Structure 1
Amino acid sequence: MENNFLNKTRIVLLLILFLCIMLLGYTAFGKPRTPLPIVQQQITGLVTDKQGKPIPGATVIIKGSTDGTFTNDKGVYNITATPNDVLVFTFIGFKTEEVPVENQLQLDVILTEDVTALGEVTVNAGYYTVSEKERTGSISTIKSGVIEKQPVNNPLGAMQGYMSGVNIQQTTGVPGGGYNIEIRGKNFINGNTNPLYIIDGVPFNANSLASASVSGSINNGNVSPLNALNPSDIESIEVLKDADATAIYGSRAANGVVLITTRKGKSGPTQFQATINSGMGHVSHFLELMNTPQYLEIRKEGVENDGFGSFLENPAFDFVWPDLKTWDQDRYTDWQQTLLGGTAYRTKLQLSVSGGSDQTRFRISGAHLNETTVFPGDSKYRNTAVHSNLNHRSKNKRFALNLTSNYTVETNNLPRTDLTLSAYKLAPNAPALYDDEGQLNWEDNSWDNPLAMLLEKYKTQSNTLMANAQVSYQILPALQVKTNLGYNNYQMDSYKLMPSTARNPKYGFTPENYSSQTRKRATNTSWIIEPQLSWNHQWDDASFGVLAGATFQQQTTDQTVLKATGFPNNLMLENLAAANTIEILNDGQSEYHYQSIFSRLNFNWRNSYILNLTGRRDGSSRFGSGKQFGNFWSLGLAWIFSNSLSLDENGFLNYGKLRGSYGTTGSDNIGDYKFLNTFGVSGNDYNGITLLYPTGIYNPVFGWETNKKLELALDLNFFKDRIVLNSAWYQNRSSDQLVGIPLAATTGFQSLTGNFQATVENTGWEFDLRTVNIAGEDFNWTTTLNLTLPKNNLVAFPDLATSTYANKYVIGKPLTIVKLYESLGVDSQTGIYRFRDFNDDGVINAIDDKQWIEDLAPELYGGIGNTFTYKNLSLEVFFQFKKQKAYNFYRSYPTPGYNYNMPVELYDRWRNEGDDASIQRATFGQFPGVWEAGQRQSDSNKAVSDASFLRMRNVTLSYQLPGSLSKVMDVTLYIQGQNLLTITNYGGPDPEQPRNYILPPLRQITLGGQLRF
């Protein structure tokens, strides 16, 4: 597709790239430069703590230079230096040590613990790095030490509860499923909250290619591509939140940025590491449902209340109410235990090798994961990943090359249907699953056997390749040219098989008239090129840095959905050629082009006053001519008043920083080709000619969404960094909302994509606290706490009252509200739910009487963790908490008496005139007004209740074996627990996953060991 797109800008960007290449070539092959001083001796040594334990990964740098190395897994380092040099030893959590070389060839160092050595902490901000002390932006970080101690398959699972301003919800307890993430709230009316994911400098499309039409309810069509990234290969995850941190990513950063950095090799002897763990998972909480006597009592009562009691004695109606007439009236089956009470086994094995010299370092790892479900059967999820990294730096330290690749194969062979809904709703006296011959029991065709769903085969195989290269050259001491090159390829091949044997024989289905195969093949491919120039100079009192670059990115999505029906027999279901009919349900390809230029200016005066100025100009192919460009910028300021005011080192306050930022980001996240006339294949033909139908209307005038971000923050350290408190207030305002503007039905279209002049505001407070409670010779205790107080508000919405959004949104209220009926309880005379008639017209309807408002977004959320260490023993306990509301059992079970089981709360129902009850009369759906009242009750304020919780999310107890064995190899044994305990008043399956038809997150116990040699 040609849009006469970005011609002049493309020429300028290509010239920048050409200039960078020419400079690189000239400095690499041009006239020789003055050689660096020749080193005179090789220094080696061991870095340990006070207990004599080696410190792997400690940094060893020659003072006054950039030459340095790292200690290996045994704490050993090697470096070349002159006798006049001074070696600087640093490691996070320990005080910096400076040791003169002199004539020593063996130089061992003992580091003293200083768990909040803030100046040595470096934060990844994407295009650049910055020290924790000098950052002006809002960046939350989680390191590998926390990530690897959680039995999760997805990086987002490791982040739950650990970061302020980041709200993550697991969508299902089935392996391979996805997560929902919001960074500082919901910005856009279209519901999109997806952040930008950057893996090793390369954007990654985390949108699922799965389809609910193929996968069914097993993961709700949400198979997360991030499952392809092995959490054990991650070094750190940073989340960029405010304008100063995100504006350099421009239009892609409206919902924040998640930076994922994978592990790299360290110099030293070749090291091998093997990790194996095995765990078991169970559903942590079952609903309290009715037993057989309670269920049958209410069922019969419902039939009698509706005036059909005499039919219970008529054999002609046996097929209508088999649970009341033909099934065993004394039988009881705990279907939750039967269908969800199994054990999900999880086994993971990972091997890695790393090492290298000061110039060239490498790391290669391979991991295999096998995980089953709690459902009956042998379904499983498998993941095999290979990760590699190669770092090389020339001897003169000018040229650097970093190559990283990750290849993952996922096989998801699960039942197509989540059995959770069946477990909750099956009658407790339903028949046995198998007959006397071990075959599926249909009980005279009187029920749908839930295990028949296991015959509906569903399988997904995903192949993901992530590769990137970073090439840099130090042209001058202060000038560097760098290029990021990235390539991603994500392929998913999924299919479902629907055999006729999976349905009740009474329907008379055969392979010829029912059996089908639906297959989806989808590919997402992207590449990116980002040339950059950076210049940094240090004067006596000031430092100045400039970063300039460009981005060239292309993404292509190709997908085909086929449905084959009519097979000679079910054995040939996987053979498309055997089908009578093959139809194309979806077949299309889309391309997305994205180009930009960006720059960042940084000024630091006396390490006290810091200024950041960032700008970016983006061009997107998702907009029409004249609307393709967007400009985004930010200003960040910081005052480290502890430096400028010369605070007493022995005072209670030893570090203080006041910072703030303001700027804009944007969004083009609306899909491809929305500004064009688009058409689809109807599936019909006319005289052999395939017919098309219009799917979209031409609208070239809509443009970028805009998000204006403001933040003020205060960072304080007390008692020599024993207490670290970071607090921030933020305000994000989003406008020019890209939504589907509703159209009249006479147009033939439901909506027109355009900019809607509604404004959404997110404000909030974030607090991060870290304390060192005890720091002794043998025993240490640290605590971390994060707390977020978010608030969402629809500030403006023109003509809301006359729009189709009138029943969904209210100006001055959050986007996350639901408008409900106000329930007035049960009428004691009729036994039917009553509701408030807000306009007193004598009629209850959704337009006028849904005036009760509840907000389902969290009022606050966060986490608190404690780490205890005693010599070689370590215990880490982390709790997650939320204050929120959610739908309760009324949402799905408002009325007793239907032919499915219900929570035991519905047993306390209205029975006779004058009864004071909270549950209306039993019915099987025939009494006038009862069904309608039940539907309104499920959509009333009674269907929402408190769902706040305190959850013991992670517990890890680890022990490193001491003695002679540790001199040869390091052996660590550990036990992990996840979701062990949840304290809540919520009566549903899970307060964080309140939907009654989705398997909730499991409680898991994992045993493992790690061996390094």
Structure 2
Amino acid sequence: MISYPTNSKQLMKIAFIFKTCLVLVPQVLCLPLLAQRAEKADTVVVDPESAAVQIGYGTQPAQHITSAISTVQGTSLEKNFTLNLGNTLYGRLPGLTVSQGGSEPGASTPGLFVRGVNTIGGAATAPLYVIDGFISNGSGPSNALMQLMPEEIESVSVLKDASATAIYGARAANGVVLITTKAGRSGPLKVSFTTKQGFNQAQYLPKFLDSYQYASLFNEALRNDGLAERYSQADLDAYRTGADPYFHPNVNWYDQVLRKIAPASSYNLNFSGGDNYVRYYVMLNALNSQGLFKKFGDQNEESSNSKYSRYNFRTNLDINLTTRLSAQFKIAGALEQTMNPNNYTTGGTFSLLASLPPNAFPVYNPDGSFGGSSLYANPVGNMLATGFYKNNSRTILSSLKLTEQLDMLTPGLSVSAAVSINNYFESGSQKSKQYPRFAISKNDAGETVYGPAIGQLTSLVGSEITLDQYRNLIFQGSLDYKRSFGKSDLSGMLLFSSDNVTLFGSSAEPGTPSANSTDPYKHNAASGRLSYVYNNKYIAGFSASYMGSESFPEGKRYGFFPAGSLGWIASNEGFMKQVKAIDFLKLRGSYGLTGNDLIAGLGLSGRYAYMPTYGGAGYFFGTGNNGAGGYAEINIANPNLTWEKEKMLNLGMDATIFKRLDIAFDYFKRDRYDILVASNATMPQFTGIPTPNLNQGKTRSAGFELALRFNSRKDAALGYFLEGNVSYFKNKIVFNAEALQFNKELYATGRQIGQPLGLKAIGFYSQQDIEKRLADPKSVPGVLTEVIRAGDIKYEDVGGADGKPDGIIDGNDRVAIGKPGLPNFTAGLHGGLRYKGFDLDLVFQGVSGNTVYLGGNYFHAFQANGQVAAIAEGRWTEQTASSATYPRLSSKDNLNNYQFSSFWQRNGSFVKLRSAEIGYTLPTPVSDKLRLETIRFFVNGTNLFSWDKVPYGDPESLAGYPVTRTITAGFRIQL
């Protein structure tokens, strides 16, 4: 029987929500609201799991955790504006490195790395993503985890050691990221609405030199190459004064294509509540962000504005069907749409902007036609007159879990069965056309002459294609046991799971949702965990998985992955009671084995590498050398193909001091082996056919993590907290089966993973060097493919046939230069204040131990007929030989100066203010008068500032779509 409230205030709330549901919420999402049993307004139910930590397939009391796990609550991630969940995790979780993947709406996804990288050869390095207990496939923008909204997330946990990840078996060596979404809780109906309105702006745009500077420096480059100058003094004067904009243009193409700011907005509405029978959580979210392109769609109906939108929804239901049988039903999804002029993504446009000289041609010719040349297209013409592209995607995540309590057999025993069906589909709509552009010149009479049309005018034509698709079907069955016997606490879990992933599209690697294959990727596993706690002091745990995959040979498809852990809550010992400063102290350690089955070559090209492949071959016979077709073995099979394996040791400590300072420390050591690598050192090349990759590689990594949190007293008028974390790792390649090298510096074995190898720059050639080289070329080493001149970059000669200098600079002279691109030191600082309704929240992230490379048109002046940037103003000349910071200018594609070398490397360290928010919550009496529970106003900023050592742009993204900062203002209302 349903009881109805008599309180008028509650009736008004329910009426308001009912109207909102009818207007905004699909009927299926309103069902849990209509099924609600109304409770008294002051009903409060405490969640019994509130002190629990999410672990693989379950929870465990925080004080009994013996694994390395870092957790952040979803409410902490809401205080910024991002289009991608990964961008909320910077600096939040010790052991998790987040690398920025660009800022293009709908196309940029950050990279996540748990305790760095510990594999080579092209194997997957990303962690395993698990949402509400079900493994999520997909990468890049199609990754379901990245599409989630912070408002629907209860917590994000990172499982880092073997005892936490072993139950995921051969899929967990790179770590596991667990997402737990919000669930309804018993209590009255609660409604919350939040909106954010703001804008994006480019944090930094490339600063190329103008036409006068370009022409002056290009003349200098020609002189340096012994060629005649191109631009006369009259030309230079025209560029400087701007008196002849058609024949001496000075175009800032970034200003022509981009706008200063682009609007962004977000709307979130959620409902939660329930009783002893039904509990529900429902969320709707609308996210919109316009791109930095100008509104070309407003100027031409056959173009489009750049915009991105996503609509998220979620319904989580917990139902007690009987006193023993309960059900969890969850359905969530995201609908995305991205529109751009000219192409699906913006990479081609920004490549053109970075290479097109400012004096190449005007945007428009005198007659209004588009300027252009046979070498370069017109970026504005591309935006306005080549059509538009739209891609739509939808993600559906659904699951049903039934749990039966088996207390009639033994107290604490339960059995569960679950099924999850996940689906991703992306389609593209391409509306394309061509347009003519014209180069202009003057005849002898000074009249404007138009060259022949470059390109032709065509009508708009369309095509519809499938860009990406995958399906994932997961079955799970489990037994759970939890019981106390006197001083003993025992808990255990036994899980059987099977998942089937079918991938479509164009990508070739598993783990991405676009591998063009109808053959499903399948995993079967039996996993278990057992934990024993005695007297709330001594803890022992064991977890394991027996897992198999069809990607490996029959008879070798299954493996066993065990892990064990021990813990000691020292603060519960009698002798520790005398130490008043220490409120809690736990020591823990773990050791175990995990695997990584996303090894190199499991895409289309090597999906079944344990089987030989055959293809066409040709042979020649007779004195006439006549060819004849044939059939031959292309690749030798590797019948012993297997997954990577990793042994991990973790030692940790958790403590609370003076009731206000929390400390967590972990030391880890990882040894990975059976990495699939080329067998260059172990199989001879005279076999005549490509030798198979073998599981011979070995790597090692070690490091530590430290997390601190200090809180104010709970009753303090000024409340505050400050938490910080640091993570450090150092890895190296132990064995890589490399081919023999003349120069021992070229071996990757013994070096860091990802260590760059290049030429070591030792200054610039002087005129004396050139004279010596002319007399004896080997006395001053140089590249053989370029005429060396004074002012060119000089490199160290280290690699001859006998391991000694040979007077030639070539590939054998490469050495270890700089550091890998992934930082091995990451720090985060998160702080907050609250005072009389006001609150402040700040998140900083810093990294070190990485190198960035200055490449492309922005840094290599005049290469590929490109631009010249301000960095070239420090060029070498005879007058600046002692202070030059840049090589001499050259109008040619210089094969010496733009080698991959230490000259173009820079320190990639930085500190960034990732997010900041200031807010004000109205006092309770004011909220009550407005018939609201709370109302809060706020202003926040995302990716606000960067302090780094690269003055030419953001060290995480030096090319392509600009890194953006976002400023929004909004409010949150809760009924």
**Residues 914 and 161 (structure 1), Cα distance of their counterparts in 2 relative to 1, 3 Å cut:** closer
Asked if structure 2 preserves the Cα contact closer than 8 Å seen for 1:298 and 1:896, the reply is no
> When the two structures are superposed, what TM-score results if normalisation uses the length of structure 2?
0.80
How far has the Cα of 1:789 moved from its partner? 1.4
What is the letter of the counterpart of residue 763 of structure 1?
A
Q: Does 1:390 align with 2:317?
A: yes
Q: Which residue number in structure 1 is paired with residue 904 of structure 2? A: 943
Number of equivalences: 850
How far has the Cα of 1:90 moved from its partner? 7.7
Q: Does 1:919 align with 2:919?
A: no
**Residues 255 and 393 (structure 1), Cα distance of their counterparts in 2 relative to 1, 3 Å cut:** same
Q: Does 1:728 align with 2:650?
A: no
What is the letter of the counterpart of residue 185 of structure 1?
G
How far has the Cα of 1:538 moved from its partner? 0.7
Residue 114 of structure 2, aligned match among 169, 183, 193: 183
Asked if structure 1 preserves the Cα contact closer than 8 Å seen for 2:860 and 2:868, the reply is no
Asked if structure 2 preserves the Cα contact closer than 8 Å seen for 1:826 and 1:919, the reply is no
1:496-536 Cα shifts (integer Å, max 9, x gaps): 55533287796754589999968444321111111111222
Asked if structure 2 preserves the Cα contact closer than 8 Å seen for 1:883 and 1:949, the reply is yes
Q: Which residue number in structure 1 is paired with residue 308 of structure 2? A: 381
What secondary structure, in the 3-state scheme, does the structure 1 residue paired with 2:519 have? strand
Spell out the pairing of 1:360-759 with structure 2 (5 A cutoff). Answer: 360-376=278-294, 377=296, 378-394=305-321, 396=323, 398-415=324-341, 416=343, 417-418=346-347, 419-435=349-365, 441-442=370-371, 447-454=376-383, 455=386, 457-476=388-407, 477-494=411-428, 496=430, 499-501=433-435, 508-510=454-456, 519-559=465-505, 588-648=517-577, 651-670=580-599, 671=602, 673-675=607-609, 698-720=637-659, 722-739=660-677, 752-755=692-695, 757-759=696-698
How far has the Cα of 1:976 moved from its partner? 0.8
Which stretch shows the higher mean deviation, 784-793 or 801-810? Answer: 801-810
Asked if structure 1 preserves the Cα contact closer than 8 Å seen for 2:116 and 2:824, the reply is no
**Residues 618 and 128 (structure 1), Cα distance of their counterparts in 2 relative to 1, 3 Å cut:** same
The separation in 2 between residues aligned to 1:262 and 1:463, in whole angstroms, is 19
1:432-457 Cα shifts (integer Å, max 9, x gaps): 43456765x21576852112333263
Asked if structure 2 preserves the Cα contact closer than 8 Å seen for 1:533 and 1:549, the reply is yes
What secondary structure, in the 3-state scheme, does the structure 1 residue paired with 2:60 have? strand
Q: Which residue number in structure 2 is paired with residue 57 of structure 1? A: none
How far has the Cα of 1:590 moved from its partner? 2.4
Q: Which residue number in structure 2 is paired with residue 282 of structure 1? A: 201
The separation in 2 between residues aligned to 1:942 and 1:168, in whole angstroms, is 27
Q: Which residue number in structure 2 is paired with residue 301 of structure 1? A: 220
Asked if structure 2 preserves the Cα contact closer than 8 Å seen for 1:342 and 1:375, the reply is no
What is the letter of the counterpart of residue 166 of structure 2?
A
**Residues 258 and 334 (structure 1), Cα distance of their counterparts in 2 relative to 1, 3 Å cut:** same
The separation in 2 between residues aligned to 1:324 and 1:750, in whole angstroms, is 61
1:814-841 Cα shifts (integer Å, max 9, x gaps): 1121011111211121222111111321
Asked if structure 2 preserves the Cα contact closer than 8 Å seen for 1:463 and 1:490, the reply is yes
1:747-768 Cα shifts (integer Å, max 9, x gaps): 897673431x221111111001
Residue 1002 of structure 1, aligned match among 931, 951, 964: 964
**Residues 267 and 913 (structure 1), Cα distance of their counterparts in 2 relative to 1, 3 Å cut:** closer
Residue 901 of structure 1, aligned match among 859, 862, 867: 867
Asked if structure 2 preserves the Cα contact closer than 8 Å seen for 1:675 and 1:698, the reply is yes
What is the letter of the counterpart of residue 486 of structure 2?
D
Q: Which residue number in structure 1 is paired with residue 139 of structure 2? A: 207
The separation in 1 between residues aligned to 2:705 and 2:515, in whole angstroms, is 45
Spell out the pairing of 1:9-408 with structure 2 (5 A cutoff). Answer: 76-77=42-43, 121-176=51-106, 177-189=108-120, 190-208=122-140, 224-309=143-228, 331-376=249-294, 377=296, 378-394=305-321, 396=323, 398-408=324-334
The separation in 2 between residues aligned to 1:792 and 1:293, in whole angstroms, is 49
What secondary structure, in the 3-state scheme, does the structure 2 residue paired with 1:232 have? helix
How far has the Cα of 1:243 moved from its partner? 0.6
What is the letter of the counterpart of residue 1012 of structure 1?
Q
Asked if structure 2 preserves the Cα contact closer than 8 Å seen for 1:717 and 1:724, the reply is yes
How far has the Cα of 1:191 moved from its partner? 4.5
Spell out the pairing of 1:762-801 with structure 2 (5 A cutoff). Answer: 762-773=701-712, 775-798=714-737, 800-801=738-739
Q: Which residue number in structure 2 is paired with residue 878 of structure 1? A: 843
Asked if structure 2 preserves the Cα contact closer than 8 Å seen for 1:630 and 1:704, the reply is no
**Residues 660 and 748 (structure 1), Cα distance of their counterparts in 2 relative to 1, 3 Å cut:** same
Asked if structure 2 preserves the Cα contact closer than 8 Å seen for 1:647 and 1:654, the reply is no
Q: Which residue number in structure 2 is paired with residue 570 of structure 1? A: none
What secondary structure, in the 3-state scheme, does the structure 1 residue paired with 2:166 have? helix
What secondary structure, in the 3-state scheme, does the structure 1 residue paired with 2:170 have? helix
How far has the Cα of 1:914 moved from its partner? 8.3
> When the two structures are superposed, what TM-score results if normalisation uses the length of structure 1?
0.78
**Residues 246 and 851 (structure 1), Cα distance of their counterparts in 2 relative to 1, 3 Å cut:** closer
Q: Which residue number in structure 2 is paired with residue 845 of structure 1? A: 810
The separation in 2 between residues aligned to 1:408 and 1:660, in whole angstroms, is 40
Residue 977 of structure 1, aligned match among 941, 955, 969: 941
**Residues 303 and 734 (structure 1), Cα distance of their counterparts in 2 relative to 1, 3 Å cut:** same
The separation in 2 between residues aligned to 1:963 and 1:728, in whole angstroms, is 43
How far has the Cα of 1:959 moved from its partner? 1.5
Q: Does 1:986 align with 2:950?
A: yes
The separation in 1 between residues aligned to 2:632 and 2:149, in whole angstroms, is 43
**Residues 191 and 237 (structure 1), Cα distance of their counterparts in 2 relative to 1, 3 Å cut:** same
How far has the Cα of 1:633 moved from its partner? 0.7
The separation in 2 between residues aligned to 1:468 and 1:252, in whole angstroms, is 21
Asked if structure 2 preserves the Cα contact closer than 8 Å seen for 1:826 and 1:918, the reply is no
The separation in 2 between residues aligned to 1:73 and 1:841, in whole angstroms, is 87
Asked if structure 1 preserves the Cα contact closer than 8 Å seen for 2:280 and 2:318, the reply is yes
What secondary structure, in the 3-state scheme, does the structure 2 residue paired with 1:933 have? coil
**Residues 207 and 855 (structure 1), Cα distance of their counterparts in 2 relative to 1, 3 Å cut:** closer
**Residues 223 and 424 (structure 1), Cα distance of their counterparts in 2 relative to 1, 3 Å cut:** farther
Q: Please list every run of 5 or more consecutive structure 2 residues that lacks an aligned counterpart in the other structure.
A: 8-35, 297-304, 440-451, 508-513, 617-629, 768-789, 799-803
How far has the Cα of 1:918 moved from its partner? 3.1
Q: Which residue number in structure 2 is paired with residue 831 of structure 1? A: 791
Asked if structure 2 preserves the Cα contact closer than 8 Å seen for 1:820 and 1:852, the reply is yes
1:139-162 Cα shifts (integer Å, max 9, x gaps): 111112111112122221111111
The separation in 1 between residues aligned to 2:746 and 2:78, in whole angstroms, is 42
Asked if structure 2 preserves the Cα contact closer than 8 Å seen for 1:880 and 1:951, the reply is yes
The separation in 2 between residues aligned to 1:964 and 1:74, in whole angstroms, is 21
The separation in 2 between residues aligned to 1:695 and 1:281, in whole angstroms, is 52
What is the letter of the counterpart of residue 297 of structure 1?
S
**Residues 511 and 289 (structure 1), Cα distance of their counterparts in 2 relative to 1, 3 Å cut:** closer
How far has the Cα of 1:187 moved from its partner? 1.8
How far has the Cα of 1:611 moved from its partner? 0.5
The separation in 2 between residues aligned to 1:72 and 1:250, in whole angstroms, is 45
The separation in 2 between residues aligned to 1:678 and 1:406, in whole angstroms, is 43
How far has the Cα of 1:787 moved from its partner? 0.4
